[in-house]
Amino acid sequence: MKGKFIVLEGIDGCGKTTQINELYKWLPKSGLINKNATLIKTREPGGSILGREIRDMILNNNKSNSPSILTELLLYSADRAEHISKVILPALQNGNWIISDRFSGSTLAYQGYGREISIDIIKKLENIVCQNIKPDLTIFLEISPEESILRRKNKVADRIESEGLEFLKKVNHGFKLIALENNWEIIKASEDLTSIAQQIQKSLINKFSLNK
């Protein structure tokens, strides 16, 4: 694989989307990317054409149509399978760089630790879905569950965001364990936006400047 795959993870409201937009502006000027490589910004769920329909299905707040937890896991997995086949794999094979807002770590944290589906089952499914694709770098933006809820208090919550504090605590705990187990870069995300952006840039420089 010639391209690079960078993922940002964290609980809702941790500021991933803002930081991804900053990274997307900074990376082309950083000198890290080969001149003829394209930089792609994407997300899960919803990074492919079919995935956008799956995203609407999963996050829809219509209580009468809520998926079971197993269906939810399979929908996130279907979204990822499509995202990998249609977007991530072709981009990496062509030497392009990808920044993704969430990837398989989110399934382990939300469906594994949050919904309490067996971690073993999730990892087996991940092996099938991911086709050996692993992020080159995953950055975990860490905020407390209380702060997550406070930051989103004026926004309409989607189905997962509506789960509340106890659920978020389990997910956040899961993210921390997964981050430590997999050597993710952990960045405290309650600091100011510029300092977080600089820390993210530093981790990319450390990771990629030798492998240009």
> DSSP E strands: which ranges in 52-195?
97-101, 137-142, 185-188
Q: Residue 47 in contact with residue 20, Cβ under 8 Å? A: no
> Rounded to the nearest whole angstrom, what is the least distance from the CB of residue 174 to ligand TMP in the complex?
11
- The DSSP code sequence of 118-157 is -HHHHHHHHHHHHTT---SEEEEEE--HHHHHHHTTTS--
Shortest Å distance, C-beta 158 to ligand TMP: 6
Nearest residue to ligand TMP on Cβ basis:
110
Provide the minimum distance between the beta carbon of 151 and ligand TMP in the complex, in angstroms, as a whole number: 12
Which is closer to ligand TMP, CB of 3 or CB of 45? 45
Specify the residue, 113 or 208, whose C-beta has the smaller distance to ligand TMP: 113
Q: Which of 182, 186, 46 is nearest to 105 (CA)?
A: 182
Kindly tell me which of 17 and 209 has the beta carbon lying closer to ligand TMP. Answer: 17
Interface residues toward ligand TMP, by CB under 6 A: 12, 43-45, 59, 76, 101-102, 106-107, 110-111, 160-161
d(CA 162, CA 75): 18
- Whether the CA torsion 154, 142, 198, 30 is positive or negative: it is negative
Read off the DSSP letter of residue 66.
P
| Residue 59 Cβ vs ligand TMP, minimum distance, rounded to whole Å | 6
Instruction: Spell out the residues 6+ positions from residue 107 whose beta carbon is closer than 8 angstroms to its own.
Output: 73, 76, 77, 80, 122, 126
Beta carbons of 95 and 37 less than 8 angstroms apart:
yes
For ligand TMP, which is the closer residue by CB, 155 or 188? 155
Smallest gap from Cβ 182 to ligand TMP, in A, equals 15
Decide: 12 and 161 in contact? Cβ < 8 Å: yes
- Residue 3 or 114 having the CB closest to ligand TMP: 114
| Minimal distance, residue 13 CB to ligand TMP, in Å | 9
Closest to ligand TMP by CB, 182 or 206: 182
Cα–Cα distances (Å) from 92 to 2, 9, 17, 38, 98, in that order, read 6, 20, 22, 10, 8
